[in-house]
Each structure stands twice: as structure tokens, then as C-alpha cells.
Amino acid sequence: MNFRKTKRRPDLTLDLMPLIDVVFLLLIFFLITTSFTQEQQRKIPINLPQGVTGTEVGEGTKVILFVTENGEIELEADFEVNGSSLDEKLKSLKALRPDASILLKGDTSAEHGKVVETLDTIKNAGFEKVDLVITKTE
């Protein structure tokens, strides 16, 4: 017979579910924030022309328009557009963002005529602020 009083140790377990929840929330947060920071990056590289007198563009709403070396035009790096569809898209963007300015990123090898045609389309859509993007040299 055992008359000694024995103490049972309580079952000590560590609940990992809250820790796993926090880790997944952090993972989702970092995935979302990195996708927003990479949103403006270009998938097809554009070789920008170089210039000495370039200045930085001020703050405000910007619409990015790309002219590739093949003469293709892409709006906001998502939509490949041409001629009349570019005019329609720009007019709808002007209606949505009336204070927006255009950042025109033309490849060094793009035809001058294509860039001028794109500038005319931008002006016809009602945009008054157009900035040509270059790589600044020193």
C-alpha cells in the first residue's frame, strides 16, 4: 500500500495554433506589400535614352506609357494597346483621374515617329502634363 500522497503533474502542452496564425498573417502581409512595390516594375526591359538635363518628376498621380523598340505601346505595363484603343483607354483614364500626368517611357531604339504619334494621342485624350523618362547621366 502506498500511503504517500502523490502529486500528479498537470499536462503541460504548448498550444501552437495562435503562433501558426500569426506566422500566416505575417506571410500574407509581406506577400501583399511586395506585390504593391513591384507593381510599377516592367517585365520587358526598356532601354531608356540618356540625358544630362533631366529633372525628377514631382508628386501626383501618374500614368505610365511604354513605347518598346518594336513600336508596341503598353499602358501601365498591363495593356498592350494600339491606335484607337490607346485613345479610348487614355480618355477613360482621363475621366477617372483628371489630375493625372503621363510618364512616357520610350525605348532608345523606338522610332521617333511612333513616339510623336503617341504624344499626339496623349494630347488628344486631354492630358496636359507629359514627361519623357530618361536615364540621367552625369
7 in any annotated domain: no
Domain extent, residue 79, equals 50-136
pLDDT in tens, 75-84: 875 667 766 7
Number of domains in the chain: 1
21 in any annotated domain: no
- pTM attached to this predicted model: 0.59
pLDDT attached to residue 32: 82
95 in any annotated domain: yes
Selection from 9-13, 19-23, 121-125 with the highest mean pLDDT: 19-23
CA distance readout (Å), 22 to 18, 32, 126:
6, 15, 48
Sheet holding 130-132: strands in order across? 79-81, 73-75, 62-67, 101-106, 130-132
* Domain of residue 130, CATH code: 3.30.420.270
Does the pLDDT at position 56 exceed 80?
Answer: no
4 in any annotated domain: no
When mean pLDDT is compared across 2-6, 67-71, 107-111, 134-138, the lowest value belongs to 2-6
28 in any annotated domain: no
57 in any annotated domain: yes
109 in any annotated domain: yes
pLDDT attached to residue 87: 85
Report DSSP state, residue 85: H
pLDDT in tens, 88-131: 888 888 888 888 888 888 888 888 888 888 889 889 888 888 88
Gap between the Cα atoms of 112 and 134, Å rounded: 15
Of residues 69 and 47, the one with the higher pLDDT is 69
26 in any annotated domain: no
